[in-house]
Amino acid sequence: MSVPDDRRPTLAFAGATHTGMVREANEDNYVAEPMVFAVADGMGGHAAGEVASEIAADRLRARLKDGAASVDLMVAAVVEANAAIFQAAHSDSSQRGMGTTVVALAALVGPAFPTRLVLANVCDSRAYLFRDGILKRISVDHSYVQELVSTGHITEHEARTHPRRNIVTRALGIEPTVKVDTWVLPLVRGDRYLLCSDGLVDEVDDLDISIILEQESDQQAAADRLVAKANDNGGHDNTSVIVIDVLEGDEDPPVDFVPEFRPEVVLVDADPPPHGNPEIIVVPDEVEPPGRLRALLGTRRRRVVAAVEAVVVVAAIATVVALVLGG
């Protein structure tokens, strides 16, 4: 499907990625093409994380190179990437337990509406909007500390240094299907989007990110400086960033944008998988999942155990009732 020129948003963009100062390999991958952008931060030992993030990047590049004709097609591309990673992980024992984050921004080019942008997120890579000198996070992390923040147990500030901030609650490749959060965003001239892996936000605070985005009008210069800043501050993780500027767009931003911005569309459930129950994955005990995923997989194990216990309790009650009635 080719997209007419008048439906292609005019965007200027650049990406950068770096292994960092501590890790031996870069398990991040990114996509930066005229109609689709994505950051994927792979997780898993023995280079499996790199495989997972590469599968995600390849699938999104292939499916969304002409943008997304609908939000559902964006979701479908992410769900397809999830299934491909899940399948790869289960067909090669060296890749068992691998997973990846994904945050993706694509042109939304359906014929029935004006061209907009659609954002999709799974896990804890992030999308920010920088408008009028103010940095606003759009995506919501699927992580343990995000849940603590959302329920008021800790502040955003405390979350930055929380010892369990690396535990994620949703990722691509862990279950046969995945829930994808999406947002539809207006095209507003002058808006600057930032997609990044956690290697950036763990090392560079919002103020320093804002200063760099304000000072560097060139997208590549901004991306390179953000990565360099993460490395200057320790570079404990791989860092990937994409900076995207909206050069043309005739939609006015909401007047109350800064304090009140809310995504237009949130959370589109993926279709249930054609096989199996997405809630139950039996992870063999001999498999040692990588650290960030251990808690996630542990939750699944506990859920399986709880389901078995529930069945046993119900069977016991039924037996007692049958005995009482029979007697």
Strand, helix or coil for residue 108: strand
User: Does 245 sit near Mg ion (CB under 5 A)?
Assistant: no
Q: How far is the CB of 125 from Mg ion (least distance, A)?
A: 8
Looking at 36-44, 87-95, 142-150, 281-289, which segment touches Mg ion (CB under 5 A)?
36-44
Supply 148's token pair.
């603590």
* Parallel/antiparallel/unpaired status of strands 28-32 and 102-108: unpaired
- Nearer to Mg ion (CB atom), residue 176 or residue 199: 199
Q: What is the Cα gyration radius of the chain?
A: 21
CB of 239 to Mg ion, least distance (A): 8
Q: Least separation, in Å, of the C-beta of 244 and Mg ion?
A: 20
**Alpha helices by DSSP H, 106-247:** 144-150, 156-161, 198-201, 206-215, 219-232
The answer to whether 172 and 52 are in contact (CB under 8 A) is: yes
Q: Contacting Mg ion (CB under 5 A), which of 237, 241, 270, 290?
A: 237
Closest CA to 157 of 103, 196, 201: 201
Evaluate whether 195 touches 125 at the Cβ level (below 8 Å).
yes
Query: Residue 197 interacts with Mg ion (CB under 5 A)?
Result: yes
**CA 109 – CA 67 distance, rounded (Å):** 6
Binding segment (CB under 5 A) for Mg ion, from list 17-25, 145-153, 169-177, 235-243: 235-243
Stretch that binds Mg ion, among 72-80, 194-202, 255-263, 277-285 (CB under 5 A): 194-202
CB of 155 to Mg ion, least distance (A): 22
Contact 247, 11 (CB under 8 A): yes
**Are 177 and 104 contacting, i.e. CB atoms less than 8 angstroms apart?**
no
Which is closer to Mg ion, CB of 187 or CB of 230? 230
Choose, by CB under 5 A, the member of 26, 41, 97, 171 that binds Mg ion: 41
DSSP string, 131-144: ETTEEEE-S---BH
Q: How far is the CB of 101 from Mg ion (least distance, A)?
A: 8
Cβ contacts of residue 2 below 8 Å, gap of 6+? Answer: 66
Our CB check for Mg ion shows the closer of 176 and 289 to be 289
- 17 lines the binding site for Mg ion (CB under 5 A): no
> Interacting stretch for Mg ion, rule CB under 5 A, among 45-53, 171-179, 191-199, 243-251?
191-199
Site for Mg ion (CB under 5 A): which residue of 198, 203, 224, 245? 198
How many binding residues for Mg ion (CB under 5 A)? 5
The residues that touch Mg ion, with contacts defined as CB under 5 A, are 41, 197-199, 237
